[in-house]
Amino acid sequence: MIETSHQELTAKEIWESYMTLSRVEGAFRSLKTDLGVRPVCHQIAERTKAHLLISVLAYHLLVSIEHALRSHNDHRRWSTLREQLSTHQRNTVIFTDADNKIHHLRVSGMPEKERLEIYRLLGVKDPLKRRRQLAGSRL
Nearest to 3 by CA among 16, 20, 14, 13: 14
Q: For position 133, what pLDDT does the model report? A: 77
DSSP string, 94-126: EEE-TTSEEEEEEEEPPPPHHHHHHHHHHT---
Predicted structure pTM score: 0.61
DSSP string, 38-97: -----SSHHHHHHHHHHHHHHHHHHHHHHHHHHTTT----HHHHHHHHTT--EEEEEEE-
Q: For position 35, what pLDDT does the model report? A: 62
pLDDT digits (tens, 9 = 90+) for 108-132: 888 888 888 999 999 988 766 777 7
Q: What is the mean pLDDT of residues 19-25?
A: 78
pLDDT digits (tens, 9 = 90+) for 33-62: 766 666 666 677 887 788 778 878 888 888
